[in-house]
Amino acid sequence: MSAGITTLDNTVAALAPEARRLFDRLYDVAMSEARIVPPKAMEGWIAGAFKYLAATPEGVLEAIRRQPIIHVANRVTGQATLFNAVRSQRPIEARGEGDLAKEIEGAKAKCSFCRPLEQTPANTFGRIGEAKTCANVAAYDGYHGLVIFEDHSPLRFRHDAFAPGEIADLFATSTAWAEKAHAEDPQARFFFLMWNCLWKAGASIIHGHAQMTVGRRFHYGKVERLRRDALAYAAKYGSNYFDDFVKVHEALGLAARYGSVVALAHLTPAKEREILLVADRFENPGLPEAIWRALKVYAREDVKSYNLAVYMPPLGGPDPEWKGFPCLVHLVDRGDPAAKTADVGAMEMYASAVVSADPFGLAEVMK
Ligand SMILES: [Zn+2]
């Protein structure tokens, strides 16, 4: 049997001593089993609703009666995830893309991003490249801009024609935008680049676009939290947290090399199929292609709605307080756009991520 999240304890037990030491320094694992007792009258429904779990109705019932739960916690950052494959939201019948494509195409007639010069505001320093950027009409922060993609459809990443050069262009455009903001206000140093694809991921406008902000005084809360956790780790162990974090994923078989960028199937994903790209810096020339490859993985996995978020040290030259902090690109699947329920609830907001997709399975697709 190949490695999987349900046998994480065995995989960890088989690690070489050095890798095991690092794993124990970074992670805690608890295995448990949820046992339920369905009444006879429920059996038929269970066999149908969860038929992806086993080949026979009896197999499905057994999988529901005893559900393995794997609780993984990052001791350094507090990020934690509960895995239970039974919670898979996978639709039983493969859903056609027709309705979604129609809805995207139908939004074109009234799409302001298809006419950015008339229907989107500019930032105070203007736009980058004629009409590639605009200001957000309802801003998150003092500096908030958007990169409007050429293609109206946000599902372009699923098409064969989608090329790494498009991500490189996004990087060049967003960097030029952030530098303008930073030049206008040198205290605005904390550049955050993000991309919400479709409404499940928080996008209110269908037309493909990325967003960027530049914050003042300190970085956004989660980025600053990670910086402090990594500093505390370095002070305690005399070792770079991010190097050790990558080593642990490599030892478990959860890493792939995309040129000079490491791609990880994250062991404590925020939600389904989280991929983390670790690059030495945002300017790493191989980073756009690594993102392109990660998006190809998403296309293969039939992901339609996702978030992408980039963590990096502040603008304006090396800052000793950020020494050893790399560039981290997060990608996470936000579920089926046809599903009405939100993919996050009280558990995810206030306790722990709850995830069904197995990072070991994702890693196989990433390699
Ligand atoms: Zn459009």
List pLDDT tens digits, range 44-93: 999 999 988 899 999 999 999 999 999 999 999 999 999 998 877 554 44
Coil/strand/helix, residue 134: strand
**Mean pLDDT taken over the chain:** 94
* Average pLDDT, integer, range 200-224: 96
In the reported structure, the alpha carbon of residue 43 is separated from the centroid of ligand 1 by a whole-number distance in angstroms of 48
Neighbours of 16 (CB within 10 A): 8
pLDDT of 123: 95
In the reported structure, the alpha carbon of residue 114 is separated from the centroid of ligand 1 by a whole-number distance in angstroms of 4
Question: CB burial class (10 A; 0-12, 13-18, 19+) of residue 238?
Answer: exposed
Which residue, 8, 39, 90, is CA-closest to 265?
Answer: 8
In angstroms, rounded to a whole number, what is the distance separating the alpha carbons of residues 63 and 50? 9
Q: Which residues contact 81 (CB under 8 A, 6 or more apart)?
A: 71, 72, 73, 267, 268, 269, 270, 352, 353, 354, 355
In the reported structure, the alpha carbon of residue 354 is separated from the centroid of ligand 1 by a whole-number distance in angstroms of 34
Tokens encoding 37: 């007792």
Name the residues around ion ligand 1, CB cutoff 5 A. 111, 113-114, 152, 207
pTM above threshold 0.85: yes
In the reported structure, the alpha carbon of residue 117 is separated from the centroid of ligand 1 by a whole-number distance in angstroms of 13
